[in-house]
Structure formats: C-alpha cells, structure tokens
Amino acid sequence: MDPQIFFRLSIESLGLRLPVDALKDRPGAVHAYSNCLCDIRLGDHPIQRTRVPFVSSPQGSPDANSDLIVFYLEESDIKTLTVARHFRTPKACLQVVVYMGKQGSHCGVTSRRQIIGRLRLEIGLERGLEKPTLLHNGWIGVGKNKGERLRNGPELHLKVRLDPDPRYVLKFEDETTLSPQIVQQQGTVKQPIFSCKFVKDRRSAPLDMTNTGDEDHDAEKRERKGWKVMIHDLSGSAVAAAFMATPFVPSTGCDRVDRSNPGAWLILHPSPASSAESWHLWGRLEAWREAGPRDTICLRLHILSEGQETGILVSDVAISSDKGGEFFIDMDRRVPVGAGISSASLEAIAGGFVMNCKVQGEEKCSKPLVHLAARHIACVQDAAIFVALAAAVDLSIRACRPFGRKAKKAFCHALYS
C-alpha cells in the first residue's frame, strides 16, 4: 500500500494582548477582552472558529494548551493556494478576524458582533513540503481594517506549523448492501485491496410488514437487526467484521431510533495468535436519529479492550440524514464554538488524525470514501478494521431511517432478497 501526499497545517498557542500604554488608558480592557473569539480562513476551506485567551500582562506568554485549529491539505490544495492570481505574486495567506465573544442586544434584537481587528498572515507553504516546518511563531498587530495596524492596538499570537501527513485513500466501488469491492486510490490508479460481504441474518424475520402488493418497496420492519459485514482480503481470508449487537428499533411514541435506545455495532478483527477462527473486539459504534429542523444521525465510537464494557470514547459525530457527511476519528478536532451539536468530551489520547469516512444521505447512492493516516496503519489488516467501521457508519444512516418511510427499491432488495 502506497500512501498519498497530504499535509497538516496547525494553528496553536493563540493569545491576545494589549500594550502597556493601552492597558493604562483602558483599565477595563482585561474584562472586555477576556471572552474573545477568532475566525480563521485558508483559501476556500471552511472557516474555523476558536476562542482566544487574553494575556493580561504585556510580557506574558500565550497558553501553549489553547484550542488547536487544523486544516488538512492535499497536494492539489498546496498548488491552488500558491498559484499566481490576477498577475500577483502567489502567496498563501491566513485571514483572521478577532471579535468579542458576547454580542449585545436591544429589545430582543441581537446586534452585530464587535470586531476587534483583522489580519492577513502570509505563510510560505512551499517551505514545508518535505519535513515539518514552523511557518510562523510570534505576535502580530491586529487592525480594525485589513492591512491596518493601530498604535497601541491589540496583538495576536499564533504558532503555525506545516507537517507532512500521508494517508491511504480507500473507496467502496458500490453501495455497502451490494457487497462491493474496495479499492485503494492513488491518483487516477485504482488497486483492489478488499472485498465487502453484506449479510442479513434470515432468522431475523420482519415483525411488521406493510402489505401493499410490492414488498420490495413497501415492506417495513419494526426491528432492524442481524445485519453483518465481512471484510475479506484478496486471498479471500476474513480480516475484519462489523455486526449489529443492538437492534435498531423505534422508541416508544415515535417512528425513529432515539438517543435513549440507540442501535449499536461491534467491530471485530481476527486473533493473530489463534489458528482457529477467533475474533477480538475492537470497537463499539452507537447510532441514533436526532429529529429537528435538520434531522441528523448521531454516531458515537468507543474503542474496546479485552474485559472492558464501556471503552474509550474517540468519536462523537453528527451527520445530516439528508445530505450525508463525514464521520471521523481525530484527536485534534473539536466541536466548533457555537455549534448546535452537543458532544461528549473525548478522552485524552494521542493520535491526531486517525481516519475519516464520507457517506451520502439516506436517499442517495452511497459509496463510502475512507481516508486513513499512514502512521496508524502497520499492515493491511489494520486498514481492514477501519473499512469495517466505515461500512457500519454507512449502514447506520439507513438503519436510523424512520420506520414509517418507504426505502428505495435497491436497498429493500438487498435487505429482503
């Protein structure tokens, strides 16, 4: 397996301070600047938001443990960010806006956020393509307008690093329920690496079926259980598996899988020390549906060890049931400030980016795309575990579908055939 080139651009050690003269002129500045936020944009990547600790002493140092902002870049992103535009010298820039965290209101109408300042920080991305590189580390003045630097104005501290972060890119060639082949992508080259076998336990017969003359279209179970995915290598050996450990059932008074009683998958891998067929637990994935203006599928993953019942929480993600989204394991990522998604605190474990999996919504043809950090994959069997996890994530979108809604024909055919 040959990894693709990726990069990790990290922004840390954030801090905001005022010069001595400014503190003398504005004695209440410490309180005013104690709850600040900043938005950071890099090219066309989504804006990321984080809190900025206030450094009360002009001689003080920023908190090295402040929130971390991370942008993941492909090789093509580097080229896009450093290409000349409109006859200008190609320079990649971080665009930063710092503003008060609390917004004022009058008669119930929220006012616009109070901007403290903006800055454009040029970063030489081309300098860090071969090895870890420190692109910036220090204080920089923040002005009210772009390019403006106010005398005795606030200063922002940033530490910007660029690190090579190679990944393996794997893709399901078809929908999970159709037992597809999984290939590794390397540019335009596709190399078969696994096969996926979806099985529905025929012993788990439907408890409630809607008889409309077309079972493939209209049959709807009141309990989804017995789904299983086996991952095989090219020799045909089973190298990972995922199966439903807790059925997906509608909660009392509604037609959806609720937080109070989530469905769950167990992710397993074969024991390397046993000649007989023996499987070890690796993780437990729980899934349920949150209703609201925008329905979401919530996914929570615990890594399990032998003898553990709860395990270590490593991912707590919400995905749009309509548009799909990204499930990830990444110790560097945090839920954005002000986001409507509630997330349990992740256990403090090392690892940074581990994997992500992009899936489509419940009514779309989903062919999961999986990225794996090369440093976490020691062998092909390691990759198979995450492929099984990706299959469980994809099937959870379907398993959390409201029970009173018709499923598309192709999906029903895979389940009831």
Give CB contacts under 8 A, 24+ apart, made by 187-195: 187/4, 192/234, 193/1, 193/233, 193/234, 193/380, 193/383, 194/170, 194/231, 194/232, 194/233, 194/234, 194/239, 194/383, 194/384, 194/387, 195/231, 195/232, 195/234
Note the pLDDT of residue 341: 32
Distance CA 283, CA 70 (A): 26
* Structure confidence at residue 243 as a pLDDT band (50, 70, 90): very high
- Tokens found for residue 132: 């870890």
| Helix, strand, coil percentages, rounded to 5, for the chain | 15, 40, 45
Read off the pLDDT of each residue in 235-246 and give the average, rounded to a whole number.
95
Element (H, E) at 215: helix 215-218
Q: Please say whether the dihedral angle defined by the alpha carbons of residues 26, 29, 32 and 38, taken in this order, is positive or negative.
A: positive
Q: Are the CB atoms for 321 and 296 separated by under 8 Å?
A: yes
Distance CA 394, CA 265 (A): 12
Q: Quote the strand ranges of 217-321, DSSP E.
A: 227-232, 238-246, 263-270, 279-290, 296-303, 312-320
Question: Would the pLDDT of 411 be above 60?
Answer: no
Distance CA 100, CA 32 (A): 8
Per-residue pLDDT of 244-278, as tens digits, reads: 999 999 988 788 899 999 999 999 998 776 555 68
Note the pLDDT of residue 63: 79
Q: Which residues of the chain form CATH 2.60.40.150?
A: 7-164
- Give the rounded percent of residues in the chain with a pLDDT score beyond 90: 48
Task: Report the mean per-residue pLDDT for the chain.
Answer: 80
Distance CA 283, CA 390 (A): 12
Note the pLDDT of residue 292: 78
Provide the Cα torsion 251, 253, 254, 255; round to 10°. Answer: 70
CATH number assigned to the domain with residue range 7-164, chosen from the 4 options 3.40.630.30, 3.30.565.10, 3.40.50.300, 2.60.40.150: 2.60.40.150
Bridge partners, residue 109, by sequence? 106
pTM of the model: 0.82
Q: Are the CB atoms for 248 and 235 separated by under 8 Å?
A: no
